Amino acid sequence: MADGQVTGQEGRRIVGAGIRARLSAGEMAPGQRLVEQELSETFGTTRSAVREALQDLAAEGLVELIPRRGARVRVISVEEAVQITECRAALEGLCARRAAASAGDADRAELRDIGEQMSRAVTEGDLDAYSALNRRLHDTIARASGQEVAENLLDRLNGQTVRFQFRLALRPGRPAQSLPQHLAIIEAVVTGDGAAAEAAARAHLDSVIAELAATPERPEPVGSEVAVP
Amino acid sequence: MADGQVTGQEGRRIVGAGIRARLSAGEMAPGQRLVEQELSETFGTTRSAVREALQDLAAEGLVELIPRRGARVRVISVEEAVQITECRAALEGLCARRAAASAGDADRAELRDIGEQMSRAVTEGDLDAYSALNRRLHDTIARASGQEVAENLLDRLNGQTVRFQFRLALRPGRPAQSLPQHLAIIEAVVTGDGAAAEAAARAHLDSVIAELAATPERPEPVGSEVAVP
DNA sequence: ATCAACCATATTGTCAACAATCTCGTCGAC
DNA sequence: GTCGACGAGATTGTTGACAATATGGTTGAT
């Protein structure tokens, strides 16, 4: 990091984006402490910028902020991940229904394209591609629905469960299970069948919930440092 | 305000609560500027505390924070209020369904009580009481559902639309229209009929949406000061 | 060996002064 | 009369030093 010192406003953005990225990449474990000075050195910003970024992340539920004790990566239990997914089911159901009614031609074309690429990715066993397409599908439907409020809520909820989504996608046989569900959502939205789209979206997320429920609660580290493997 | 200077951590809480209260009471109009120094003098805190409180409020969507231009009370359009209510419909539908399945005896008793008091309030034409019961009903169902994530989301969404709820409740004939809907929700939850509870909750909020859609978009003041009446 | 009190250090919280930027009224040219 | 440039004042943004608090290890008594 040979950047010159980054000024505050940018610093806040940079630290926020940086932590988000590392969190998604699994480079920061749940429960891990986030020390302000460390972060300010890592990202080449001031402590104030780090502080503000941590506030942002706490507001998004990615970080837990305990007064006088600092910040740590928030631990999300399987139980909470299930609840989050239940909310997603409700909201994505809404989006799918609306998208079926009001998506433009470009959106429908994109959805068809995503469906084809997904099928191919599963055939070829390309998990990374499938995972990326998965996110793109959900995003596209949310955007096509015109429900900006729901889209924002979903963004936030997704941010909290990326870790789980990731683990889930790696299970053998999971893509083969979810592919037909995704295709059913796409089909219903593209053909404009709102009720079917909502039902398909809900069914898909119910399936995710079932998988989550079968996830063992792994003992997350709670000490000041992450347990050594 | 003859308080001694309030220390930072408390200050943040006080300013946040204070602005929230004034916002709910309609003492702060949408679009109104919130000047940091003014607020710090009003609440007897430092500017830092005000700054942090404003960040909190912005994260909740109650305040709009424009870099280098300060904070103002966020203007929520009728269109956005409709979208928010659509999300509420999805989430409260979820809560109602779950509450029907998992509410405890105490919760069911409270719901019955709320129903009786609501009927009485409408008979007596006590709008304030009815409005308070309305909120209590929604809160109770959310809590009884055990869906804490949904409960939090709903809290946030409700905070943004209090102004609209308030205007709506004052319309002549509105309570008589919404009372049977509320009673239907209560009945379904109390008797444990999840599907009916979800349907009733959705129907109720669809009715709210219809009322909102019939609300004229009033020209909100956008200047540095609120327009004089 | 166990436990509690204590202290050094690491870390977060607070503040007030300073810097940067925007707003809005004033002035002048056309 | 209209438009644009300019500048004073108001407002937000940034910084670094200082204060308050928690942490973890050390010491000494039992």
Query: Residues A165-204: pLDDT tens digits?
Result: 988 988 888 999 999 999 999 999 999 999 999 999 999 9
Interface check for A79 against chain B (CB to CB < 8 A): the answer is no
Which among B82, B86, B98 is the top mutation candidate for probing chain A, defined by the most A β-carbons within 10 Å of its own β-carbon? B86
pLDDT digits (tens, 9 = 90+) for B161-180: 998 998 898 888 899 999 99
- Listed by number, the residues of chain A in 160-219 with a beta carbon closer than 8 Å to a beta carbon of chain B are none
Phi, psi of B106 (to 5 degrees): -60, -45
Q: What is the pLDDT of residue B191?
A: 97
Mean of all residue pLDDT scores within chain B? 91
Q: What is the CA radius of gyration of chain A?
A: 19
Chain A residue with CA closest to B95: the answer is A87
- Rounded CA-CA distance A120/A123 in Å is 5
pLDDT band at A107 (very low <50, low <70, confident <90, very high): very high
B48 touches strand C (CB under 7 A): yes
Chain B residue with minimum CA distance to A86 = B94
Nearest to A182 by CA among A163, A164, A169: A169
Token reading at A112: 């068809």
**A215 confidence band (pLDDT: 50, 70, 90):** confident
Is the CB of A150 less than 8 angstroms away from the CB of B86? yes
pLDDT of residue A222: 44
What integer pLDDT is reported at residue B78 of this predicted model? 95
**Residue B223: its pLDDT value, please?**
42
B68 contact to strand C (CB, 7 A limit): yes
Q: Which domains occur in chain A, in start order?
A: 8-73 (1.10.10.10), 78-213 (1.20.120.530)
Rounded distance, CA B225 to CA B33, Å? 7
What is the per-residue DSSP string for chain B?
--PPPPPHHHHHHHHHHHHHHHHHTT-S-TT-EE-HHHHHHHHT--HHHHHHHHHHHHHTTSEEEETTTEEEEPP--HHHHHHHHHHHHHHHHHHHHHHHHH--HHHHHHHHHHHHHHHHHHHHT-HHHHHHHHHHHHHHHHHHHT-HHHHHHHHHHHHHHHHHHHHHHTSTTHHHHHHHHHHHHHHHHHTT-HHHHHHHHHHHHHHHHHHHHTS-------SSSPPP-
Contact A119, A130 (CB under 8 A): no
Average model confidence (pLDDT) across chain A? 91
Q: Which nucleotide is nearest to B50 (CA to C1')?
A: D12
- The spacing between the Cα labelled CA in A61 and the C1' in C18, in angstroms, equals 35
- Tell me the C-alpha to C-alpha distance, in Å, between residue B14 and each of A67, B19, B43: 16, 9, 7
| Neighboring chain B residues of A197 at a CB cutoff of 8 Å | none
Candidate from A23-32, A194-203, B48-57, B202-211 with smallest mean pLDDT? A23-32
Judged by a CB distance cut-off of 8 A, whether residue A139 touches chain B is no
Q: What is the DSSP string of A22-79?
A: HHHTT-S-TT-EE-HHHHHHHHT--HHHHHHHHHHHHHTTSEEEETTTEEEEPP--HH
How high is the pLDDT of residue B43?
94
Give the separation between CA B117 and CA B133, rounded to whole angstroms.
Answer: 8
Nearest-angstrom CA–CA distance, A174 and A49: 41
Distance from CA of A91 to the nearest CA of B (A): 6
Residue-wise pLDDT tens digits, A71-87: 999 999 999 999 999 99
Structure-token pair, residue B181 = 């809907």
Rg of chain B in Å (alpha carbons): 19
